[in-house]
Structure 1
Amino acid sequence: MELARRAGDFAHAHFKAFDLLVIESKGHQDLVSNADRDTETLMRAAIAEHWPDDGIVGEEFGRTPGTSGFDWVIDPIDGTANFVRGIPQWCVALAVAKDGEAVIGVINEPSSGELFHAVKGGGAFCNGRPIRASHATGIGEGSIGTGYSVRGSSMNIVKLIDRIVGGGGVFFRNASGALMLAYVAGGRLIGYVEEHMNSWDCVAGLLMIEEAGGVILRPDPETSLEHGARVIAGGPHVFAAIKDIADDCFRV
């Protein structure tokens, strides 16, 4: 957690001077700033110093193989589109995976002062207090987070939103998938759906949801760190309904 705090403090200093950021486009709706790269560099240096045998999978600089079987999965700033515009909805996401499966997850939202974390078998927490996934029994009982990836279909997300709203639910999007997954773990959202997410956006949050008593579509540990995965998650009593909608909307 200390590394996530350090990275969050570092990124937040850039955020407070967002009008000075150097911003580039990596593709459709995919921005990167000097703050993203500098924060990931800080995180990688700390990992290399203290855990030199571990691998690293990061958004800005790709994969650095390790020999220990552990990989650090990091997104220095998830929600860059918000970050570069001065919108305080972004986070630092960090996970540790053993042989492709998450064992630690941390999501730090510096603007709100909230730090979410989970340890496999040890529960999920926000600022040290236990959190639980929603006990909603139907999609009309809360909001469902949604995300869009260029690896998915724009028409599929339109269908998904139509199904959520048509079923009496509310769709929610804040441009930070990792943060929305933390909100599912904390019961603020009843679920989350995205046709494709990269590992650095979802590994930490998916562990939190399971540790908070929620249910997830489990990613393939053999491929998901490199290639990402479809993400479907929800509270224990509403997951099946959310998955049915997602499966129907994402049917090829």
Structure 2
Amino acid sequence: MDRDLTAVRDLVAGLAEQAGRLQLERRDTLRVGAPKAHVNDVVSDVDIASERLIVTAILAAWPDDAVQAEEGNGRAGTSGWTWVVDPLDGTRNYISRTGPWSVCIALYHDERARLAVVHEPVAGETFSAIDGGGAFLNGARLPVPAGTSLDRALVGVSFQPNPKTKERAARVIRDLLPVTGDIRRLPAALNLVYQAAGRLDGGVALDTFLWDIAAGALIAREAGVILGGHGAEFTTELTVGAAPALWDTLAERVRASA
């Protein structure tokens, strides 16, 4: 590996913030396209413009890299490095003005996540991490989340809004809600970075795509959040995260119903 990841992280954070400004500027004039995989899988012209901005800049700097991007600007590469881009995670929130969204960019070398940025445009918050280097919010290092007991815990829930996954999410929520402090539904990336920041004590993500969780997962892990799925490793099918004090209890509950 021959990249200065700190310099790359700073450049990528700038790209994410630039895409966030575009999203704020164009929110009043956005156009919504036809649904993708199902009726609730929406996309806007701003999603597409944001992805084009990010991918064009990345490939100008690293033309041999591969890209996996939600809105179709993917390509194979030859360098061993792969960018995973979700230009607007939480499109339904963005369009309906009912909640937060974020810009997510991760960089893998072979199969390992090496760098991540998640930017929340409205709050002006940029979460970032470099593999082995800790997690940061607007340049300040995040401490390891303290966590709490399950009956006091605030738990984030994220899921794809297709019919099959909504049934699965209903089982998880039905099991968790009576025994937790409360739950919040959030886009997957923010679910993960809010765990990193200690705003959530734990979280669950169901049937995501890699671009939904790649950046947030590295940031959460670098902050000290424990991540897993039905096994020791988290997957796009199931990601459970929690502060260390809560992990065993939350994971046991979620695995029983997910």
How many angstroms does 1:210 deviate by? 0.9
Cα RMSD of the aligned pairs, angstroms, is 2.0
**2:123 aligned with 1:112:** yes
Aligned to 2:71: 60
Aligned to 1:239: 247
Match of 2:21 among 9, 33, 40: 9
Structure 2 unaligned blocks of 5 or more:
1-12
Aligned to 2:149: 138
Structure 1 unaligned blocks of 5 or more:
none
How many angstroms does 1:152 deviate by? 5.1
In structure 2, how many angstroms separate the alpha carbons of the residues matched to 1:60 and 1:234? 30
Aligned to 1:206: 217
Q: Secondary structure at the match of 1:57?
A: strand
How many angstroms does 1:131 deviate by? 1.5
Cα 1:7/1:219, change in 2 over 3 Å? farther
Preserved CA contact (<8 Å) 1:152 1:195: no
Preserved CA contact (<8 Å) 1:133 1:190: no
Letter in 2 for 1:12: L
Aligned to 2:7: none
Match of 2:166 among 140, 144, 154: 154
Cα 1:144/1:168, change in 2 over 3 Å? closer
Aligned to 1:249: 257
Q: TM-score, normalised by structure 1?
A: 0.89
Aligned to 1:42: 53
Report the more deviating stretch, 229-238 or 73-82. 229-238
Match of 1:101 among 103, 112, 134: 112
How many angstroms does 1:185 deviate by? 0.7
Letter in 2 for 1:4: A
Preserved CA contact (<8 Å) 1:116 1:127: yes
Percent identical: 32
Letter in 1 for 2:251: K
**2:42 aligned with 1:31:** yes
In structure 1, how many angstroms separate the alpha carbons of the residues matched to 2:230 and 2:151? 27
**2:201 aligned with 1:190:** yes
Preserved CA contact (<8 Å) 1:79 1:89: yes
How many angstroms does 1:142 deviate by? 2.2
In structure 2, how many angstroms separate the alpha carbons of the residues matched to 1:165 and 1:152? 20
Cα 1:242/1:136, change in 2 over 3 Å? same
How many angstroms does 1:136 deviate by? 2.0
Q: Secondary structure at the match of 1:24?
A: coil
Preserved CA contact (<8 Å) 1:139 1:164: no
Report the more deviating stretch, 134-143 or 112-121. 134-143
How many angstroms does 1:219 deviate by? 10
More strand by share: 1
**2:180 aligned with 1:172:** no
Aligned to 1:22: 32
Q: Secondary structure at the match of 1:189?
A: coil
In structure 1, how many angstroms separate the alpha carbons of the residues matched to 2:195 and 2:216? 8
